[in-house]
Amino acid sequence: MAYIEYRNGFNGTYRVGGQTLLIGKEKLMPYDMTYGAIASCLYSNFTKSVGKRGLNVSGTDVVVNGIKRDTVPATVKELSISFNVYTDASYEDILESFNEAIENCSMVQTFKLVAELKTEVKINAPGEMPVETVEGDACDVDGKGC
């Protein structure tokens, strides 16, 4: 369930599970949350797959982005997903788990009905995992906002 309070225009507060997300310009926009949900759904399925295979993954950086159509409604026409996996497993094993996750993630499957899916998987040694995190605005990459 989503419960969001909007006040004074497009300024929302989304409270769920003891967490608070702020929605609006210069905060989270709708597609920020959508792409985050896709990444979480996919990663959840990925962890199940690597666990089932007994693979060791010390971390994964996930980037989800989309390009929207120029028509109204501006649905996503291209969904891009990039996985950068820190592991000692083989690329083939990781790719197999990634593909299984794609097939089992209901959100990816829903978007595949309206969008072309582009994927990228890279692997790195576990010791190469960066300590810093990267911030970005996934909502505005195509210059059309949310």
pLDDT tens for each residue of 79-137: 999 999 999 999 999 999 999 999 999 999 999 999 999 999 999 988 887 765 544 44
Question: Whose structure tokens read 């505005």?
Answer: 140
User: How confident is the prediction for the chain on average, in pLDDT?
Assistant: 89
**Which structural domain range is residue 86 located in?**
29-140
Domain assignment present for residue 78? The answer is yes
Domain assignment present for residue 68? The answer is yes
User: Quick check: 56 pLDDT over 50?
Assistant: yes
SS3 13: strand
Are the CB atoms for 56 and 73 separated by under 8 Å?
Answer: no
User: Quick check: 19 pLDDT over 60?
Assistant: yes
Domain assignment present for residue 13? The answer is no
Distance CA 107, CA 105 (A): 5
User: Quick check: 144 pLDDT over 80?
Assistant: no
**pLDDT value at residue 123:** 95
Domain assignment present for residue 41? The answer is yes
What's the number of domains the chain is made of? 1
Q: Which token pair is 51?
A: 């666990």
Domain assignment present for residue 22? The answer is no
Q: Which token pair is 50?
A: 């690597």
Domain assignment present for residue 10? The answer is no
Distance CA 78, CA 25 (A): 24
Helix or strand holding residue 98 (H, E): helix 91-104
Q: Which token pair is 13?
A: 């507060």
Domain assignment present for residue 91? The answer is yes
CATH number of the domain residue 127 falls in: 3.30.300.20
Domain assignment present for residue 88? The answer is yes
pTM above 0.85, yes or no: no
Residue 138: band (very low, low, confident or very high) from pLDDT cuts 50, 70, 90: very low
User: Quick check: 7 pLDDT over 60?
Assistant: yes
